[in-house]
Amino acid sequence: MATVMTGAVLLGVIGLIIRSMVKDKKNGKSLQCGGDCKHCGGHCS
């Protein structure tokens, strides 16, 4: 039972992380750049 509960919590956390990444991507942010053009060499659009 504890294994199932731990797995469910872990899946929930992973789901929230993926949801946050998708939301950031839709808002024009990326994992590589982060939207801070002075630190990425001006490759932001």
**Any domain includes 27:** yes
The answer as to whether 34 is a domain residue is yes
- Alpha carbon distance 7, 25 (integer Å): 27
Look at residue 21 and tell me if it is in a domain.
yes
What is the structure's pLDDT at 41? Answer: 59
Pinpoint the alpha helices (H) of the chain: 2-26, 37-40
Domain count for the chain: 1
The domain of 15 spans 2-40
Residue 45 lies in a domain: no
pLDDT at 42: 56
pLDDT (tens digit, 9 = 90+) per residue, 17-34? Answer: 999 988 887 877 766 665
Question: What integer pLDDT is reported at residue 26 of this predicted model?
Answer: 81
Instruction: Count CA within 13 A, CB hemisphere, residue 5.
Output: 2
Q: Is the pLDDT of residue 43 over 60?
A: no
- For the entire predicted model, the pTM comes to 0.61
DSSP letter, residue 26: H
Q: Are 7 and 13 in contact (CB under 8 A)?
A: no
Q: Judge whether 8 lies within some domain.
A: yes
- Express each pLDDT in 4-21 by its tens digit: 999 999 999 999 999 998
